[in-house]
Chains A and B, each alone.
Chain A
Amino acid sequence: GAGVSQSPSNKVTEKGKDVELRCDPISGHTALYWYRQSLGQGLEFLIYFQGNSAPDKSGLPSDRFSAERTGGSVSTLTIQRTQQEDSAVYLCASSSLAGLYNEQFFGPGTRLTVL
């Protein structure tokens, strides 16, 4: 595709419900990252996928957060039993290789609001 796409663009949910956020990386990009951007805060790393390797989950804030990447392409970030503090913009990025010098390309983000 032309760029990284994310869906939905906006999601409003009630506290306690589960949500799924989707990321379609640039075709051929083997590395995929999820970040969270809270109001007035910098980007917070959540999880990183590289090819078929085990993902780096060190940034996930709690066990309510999980992510998977199917077929080395599309990724889904799942938040279970959402809390109000989960409200943020969730950004996905992809990179052609997990080499040292490659740029990240970002999607437009999903704005999650937990009521």
Chain B
Amino acid sequence: KQEVTQIPAALSVPEGENLVLNCSFTDSAIYNLQWFRQDPGKGLTSLLLIQSSQREQTSGRLNASLDKSSGRSTLYIAASQPGDSATYLCAVRVPGNQFYFGTGTSLTVIP
């Protein structure tokens, strides 16, 4: 069974810093990997989706990479802002169309 792990569980950084969030998965047989953010009391907002054949995707200050063979993905956030404070979740889509989610990284950006 696929297991998705996110490290660290929590991260606190001063405003303006660049940071990296990590996601690892145990089975490389995935269709894609998606990064989400979740604000308190809210649903999930999709940030980036990387196909299994891709190595990275970029959107604004966000860059996500995927190394399928090693079972790893990173989400890079440049020039962090207080508005980036949220929980970040990664999820992999596997054969059978199920998604497996990590437990998330809680990010706090200090003004």
The chain A residues found within 8 Å of chain B, CB to CB, are 4, 6, 31, 33, 35, 40-43, 45, 48, 50, 56, 58-59, 91, 93, 98, 100-101, 103-109, 111
Asked if residues A31 and B89 are in contact (CB atoms below 8 Å), the reply is: no
The chain B residues found within 8 Å of chain A, CB to CB, are 4, 31-32, 34, 36, 41-46, 49, 51, 89, 91, 93, 96-104
A-B contact count (CB 8 A): 61
Please measure, in the bound complex, the distance between the C-alpha atom of A31 and the C-alpha atom of B42, giving whole angstroms. Answer: 21
Check A43/B32 contact, CB under 8 A, given A48-B97, A56-B97: no
Q: Which of B43, B44, B91 has the most chain A CB within a 10 Å cutoff? A: B43
Please measure, in the bound complex, the distance between the C-alpha atom of A48 and the C-alpha atom of B99, giving whole angstroms. Answer: 10
- Give chain A residues whose Cβ lies under 8 Å from the Cβ of B36: 106
